[in-house]
Amino acid sequence: MANNVFAHADDLLGMAQAIKSLLSKKNTFVIMPTGGGKSICYQLPALINEGTALVVSPLIALMKNQVDLVRGVSKNDRIAHVLNSSLSKTEAKKVKEDLLNGFTKLLYVAPESLAKNETIDFFKKINISFLAVDEAHCISEWGHDFRPEYRNLRFIIEKIDKKIPIIALTATATPKVQDDILKNLKMNTASVYKSSFNRPNLFYEVRNKTNQVIFDIIKFIKKNDGKAGIVYCLSRKKVEEIAEVFQINGINALPYHAGLDSKVRVNNQDMFLKDQCNVIVLSPGPGSPKDYPLTSKIYKKYKGKKKIIGICLGYQQILFNEKGKIVQQKNIFHGYQSKVRVTKESKLFKKNKIFKVGRYHSLKLYEPYKSNNLKITMRCSKTYIPMAIEDQKNSVYGFQFHPESFLTENGNIIIKKILSA
């Protein structure tokens, strides 16, 4: 049930013993590293036991990930649910109906949700097999993720049923935190199972910081093409900024933080976990199209199969791959706003409509240029330089300017037009 569990022989023995302990309705404490198989220690007993297992988890993202994993190996989506603030009233009602009808074996809840009187009263009506406390270090005042609500879990569960066994799981508990967890949950006689934290496939690497940190990260990502990764930032604003910079540079990056609309956050998480993307943004920069053979390969591979949008150098990359000649222009436009006019070739925008746009480029398409499918759909009002292209047949679109820039008026309208085309 757990995702990609790689365990040593000692780890497997510890997992088996923890599962046996919980099936015997004993309080159990599991200390295993991330990826060591903690989740299966409660997921398997939940499926075997009668009733529903309550799983307390601190993060909505973790809950959703676990529910998706469980549902992924079951024909019945009702086997696992979440009950938290992300649900609408209708969705929460459906979850409760499944619980009352005995369809659900695993219910993931936030400690704040569990503490509500109406939730406690409801849980008294159903058969609860056990309580699993994931990320149990959140209980301890000594833990690095202390959550006050976690310290009330024992009190809450006793309100529902004092006989419900508890399994607490953590990957980051020091001896002092371990003692605090056992004491707070009144599990001093619990069976304790620890496994090795040695993971030879994991390591820290510290690099000297340069004055081009973002560029260094982009280079690193491009060198590791095809691999997934997470970049942590200190603020929500920085998350949005970095994601945007990555997108401009042709990296399929999405922001994820608590300030996002819940549906957007869930969608971004799903796209990351399932490696799904229907739109490819090509904007490699800096340099010229010939400097990015990998981007050319991506363009040729997905042309006609997925919608492709090229911005700035990504626009030039499309033209370069469609036998266009990219040359240095006389004037360099960096942080420059100018007017562009829509041509009669555009199928998306009204002919002769004027847009004020933000430009950051020193290269341009050399003319004359002819293509059967690729049409020049916007030009600079002053210099007549091509500024946008459309290929309706293959869903290929390009902008020499930056529609996402604050210098581009109505840039959001331009982007929505392309995305909905």
400 and 340 in a single domain? The answer is yes
pLDDT the model gives residue 283: 47
pLDDT digits (tens, 9 = 90+) for 195-214: 766 667 777 888 888 888 88
Is 4 among the domain residues? no
Instruction: Give me 363's structure tokens.
Output: 């290269």
235 and 112 in a single domain? The answer is no
116 and 41 in a single domain? The answer is yes
| Nearest CA among 326, 324, 321 for reference residue 287 | 326
CA–CA dist 404, 263 (Å, integer) = 22
pLDDT the model gives residue 120: 92
188 and 308 in a single domain? The answer is no
Which of 224, 248, 277 is the endpoint of a domain?
277
Burial class for 6, CB neighbours closer than 10 Å (0-12, 13-18, 19+) = exposed
253 and 308 in a single domain? The answer is no
3-state secondary structure 195-223: CCCCCCCCCCCCCCCCCCHHHHHHHHHHH
125 and 47 in a single domain? The answer is yes
Three-state DSSP state, 415:
helix
Q: How many CB atoms lie within 10 A of CB 192?
A: 16
Is 122 among the domain residues? yes
CA–CA dist 248, 239 (Å, integer) = 14
Is 229 among the domain residues? yes
372 and 250 in a single domain? The answer is no
CA–CA dist 47, 19 (Å, integer) = 11
Burial class for 323, CB neighbours closer than 10 Å (0-12, 13-18, 19+) = exposed
pLDDT the model gives residue 274: 64
Q: How many structural domains are present in the chain?
A: 3
Is 379 among the domain residues? yes
Tell me, what DSSP letter sits at residue 402?
B
CATH of the domain at 302: 3.40.50.880
244 and 291 in a single domain? The answer is no
H/E element, 131: strand 128-133
pLDDT the model gives residue 286: 62
The better pLDDT of the pair 169, 233 is held by 169
pLDDT the model gives residue 60: 77
79 and 179 in a single domain? The answer is yes
107 and 243 in a single domain? The answer is no
pLDDT the model gives residue 280: 47
Which of 277, 296, 329 is the endpoint of a domain?
277
Q: Is the pLDDT of residue 266 over 80?
A: no
Beta-ladder partners of 390: 375, 397
Instruction: Give me 415's structure tokens.
Output: 């982007």
Three-state DSSP state, 334:
strand
Question: What average pLDDT does the segment 225-232 reach?
Answer: 80
242 and 298 in a single domain? The answer is no
CATH of the domain at 143: 3.40.50.300
231 and 250 in a single domain? The answer is yes
Which of 249, 277, 305 is the endpoint of a domain?
277
Domain residues for the domain of 252 are 213-277
Percent of the chain with pLDDT over 70: 90
**pTM score, whole prediction:** 0.54
Is 162 among the domain residues? yes
Q: Is the pLDDT of residue 171 over 80?
A: yes
Is 200 among the domain residues? no
**Confidence label for 375 from pLDDT (cuts 50, 70 and 90):** very high
Is 207 among the domain residues? no
Is 354 among the domain residues? yes
